[in-house]
Structure 1
Amino acid sequence: VGPAVVIDKSAEAAQDPDFLLEPEHFEQWQQEHGPFPENCWVIFRTGWSARGGNAVDFMNADDAGPHTPGVSAAGAKWLAGNASISGFGVETVGIDAGQAATLDPMFPVHSFLLGADKYGVTSLRNVDRLPVTGATLVVAPLPIVGGTGSPSRVYALVESPASTASEPGA
């Protein structure tokens, strides 16, 4: 359980399915919205969940493999090194980009983020309905003994604008 911060690069992912988040994207977000809150979940909004009803579109593969947005090696290292971040969530099938096998190191989000005892969640839906800030993410995995992964129920608690007023008429 922790605050969600949403990094919206859906326009970039629509133009380039191999789009990668870099450290400057995280830093730019913080310049605009303030520092990441403690224990936060960084959610990467790409618009990819709209493809979820069609396996071929969702995987977006060709002879070179899948083409889905993700995080560069430098971006993954940046995420792993940020003490405020508990986890990272994506709308795609994996926490790494579709072409992550071609990066150095291969599958950097798995390598850096999971190696830093942070969490990753995939195939998120309705990310387009989350505010950039102001939601709390709840991730409830199944307790699989000895497992390295688990299906999870992931949901967000979003404060309604009306509930932020301290008194009537405020």
Structure 2
Amino acid sequence: MVLEHFSTGEHTGTHFDAPVHWVTGQQGADVSQVPVSRLIAPAVVIDHTADAADDPDFLLEVEHVKAWEAEHGALPAGGWLLYRTGWDAYGDDPERYANAGRTPGISVECARWLAEESPIQGVGVETVGTDAGAAHSFDPPFPCHSFLLGQEKYGLTQLRNLALLPATGAVVIAGPLPIVSGSGSPCRVLALVER
């Protein structure tokens, strides 16, 4: 059987955000224009599961990243920062997963720093989007989208099983559909870990 066509939302399930997903990245690449060389990259995991369990509005700050670097080394050039909050545990419970808009994320200052000063190519999260649930009220609103996508960086959302990855040493393969003019795509995200 040949499937002639199908339709799906670009930003549904585990998905990839391309720069054109946000107004600050409108001159950037759509998901079909992301170079294949950027779909396979080293990844690090910053784990703040305990903080997010205590406070669903927990925000990753620059000092958290710098403390992680002091212990593990510099963020990988051209790699992914995967932000573990334990939120994937709620992935099969839509009400708990959305949590009435109270989900962990990244502060405005940290989003700006990751976009403008860090060497990473993007951020991956376990929550529905790269921004915190309360990010609509930040200044600017949705800073991860605004800063990262505006700097030709990417987002991976609704990731699972980050608990299985080491703090350093994984390689992520992110395989979005090459949707022409697409601002994003459902994505199969795999991680390779040396055993």
2:127 to 80, 92, 95: 92
Partners in 2 of 1:10 and 1:42 — Cα distance? 15
Gap regions ≥5 residues in structure 1: 161-170
> Displacement, 1:83?
4.7
Compare 28-37 and 11-20 and name the one that shifted more: 28-37
Helix, strand or coil for the counterpart of 1:112?
helix
2:21 maps to: none
SS at 1:79 equivalent: helix
Tell whether 2:49 aligns with 1:10. Answer: yes
Q: Deviations over 1:57-97 (max 9, x none)?
A: 10000xxxx00000010010011013520110000000100
Distance 1:89 1:12 in 2: 18
Give CA deviations for 1:92-144 in whole Å, capped at 9, x if unaligned. 00010000011110000000001000000100010111110111011111000
Aligned twin of 1:124: 159
TM-score normalised by L of structure 2: 0.79
Structure 1 residues 13-162: aligned runs within 5 Å: 13-61=52-100, 66-160=101-195
The higher-RCO structure (CA 8 Å, 6+ apart) is: 2
- Could you say what secondary structure the match of 1:60 adopts? helix
| Alpha-carbon RMSD | 0.8
Kept in 1, the 8 Å contact 2:75–2:118? The answer is no
Describe the SS at the equivalent of 2:75: coil
Q: Which amino acid aligns with 2:109?
A: A
Distance 2:77 2:91 in 1: 31
TM-score with structure 1 setting the length? 0.90
- The offset of 1:37, in angstroms, is 1.8
How many residues align? The count is 156
What amino acid maps onto 1:31 in structure 2? A
Deviation of 1:36 after TM superposition, in Å, equals: 1.1
The share of aligned pairs that are identical, in percent, is: 57
Detail structure 1 runs of 4+ shifted over 4 Å in the superposition.
none
What secondary structure sits across from 1:151 in the alignment? strand
How far does residue 47 in structure 1 lie from its aligned partner after superposition?
0.3
Report the Cα distance in structure 1 between the residues aligned to 2:89 and 2:118, rounded to whole angstroms: 32
